[in-house]
């Protein structure tokens, strides 16, 4: 049988499945988001400072960095929660992690782009990222009351 090509081959080998939201994925996301948050914070405070102040967007940039970094930090204990697998609520904790990652990308990402002069249609997109961040926290709250299955 000849080797498969394209999408069919990809699905046949399970290569197109999204990465599972496990402790490693969550901790990897925490590391990447933490590093990019620090880098973007420094970039905004130094290289972009005059540009952002001139446009009146320094507060927007700082808000983006703040939410970016806080949620990167919040992913760390969530990754440990998934690694230890002793508390219960792991499925909800995975949903929380996914919401936080998506929320940082959408919320902070849209604010970064707006601060840099991105299209104005990004303004209404920002609250969608905020809703994802809130949903993540609600998943954590519900997960806290989910008992470990024995």
Per-residue pLDDT of the chain (150 residues; tens, 9 = 90+): 455 555 555 444 554 455 678 999 999 999 999 999 999 999 999 999 999 999 999 999 999 999 999 999 999 999 999 998 777 788 999 999 999 999 999 999 999 999 999 999 999 999 999 999 999 999 999 998 887 776
- Structural domain includes residue 120: yes
- Structural domain includes residue 40: yes
- Structural domain includes residue 2: no
**Residue 96 backbone phi and psi in degrees, to 5:** -60, -45
- Structural domain includes residue 15: no
- Structural domain includes residue 4: no
- Structural domain includes residue 113: yes
- Structural domain includes residue 92: yes
- Structural domain includes residue 58: yes
Domain with 67, as residue range(s), is 20-143
Q: Specify the pTM.
A: 0.84
C-alpha distances (whole Å) from 17 to each of 13, 47, 122, 145 are: 9, 39, 29, 30
**Separation of alpha carbons 131 and 143, rounded Å:** 18
CA proximity to 110, closest of 71, 64, 65, 55: 64
What's the total number of domains in the chain?
A: 1
């Amino acid at each position: 049988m000849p080797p498969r090509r394209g999408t069919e081959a990809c699905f046949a080998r399970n290569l197109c499945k999204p990465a599972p939201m496990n402790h490693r994925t969550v901790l990897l996301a925490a590391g990447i988001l933490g590093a990019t948050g620090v880098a973007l914070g420094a970039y905004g405070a130094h290289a972009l400072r005059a540009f952002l102040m001139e446009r009146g967007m320094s507060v927007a940039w700082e808000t983006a960095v703040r939410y970016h970094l806080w949620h990167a930090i919040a992913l760390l204990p969530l990754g440990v929660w998934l690694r230890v697998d002793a508390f219960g609520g792991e499925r909800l904790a995975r949903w929380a992690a996914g919401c936080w990652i998506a929320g940082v990308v959408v919320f902070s990402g849209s604010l970064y782009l707006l601060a840099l002069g991105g299209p104005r249609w990004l303004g209404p997109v920002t609250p969608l990222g905020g809703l994802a961040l809130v949903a993540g926290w609600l998943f954590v709250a519900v997960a806290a009351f989910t008992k470990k299955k024995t």
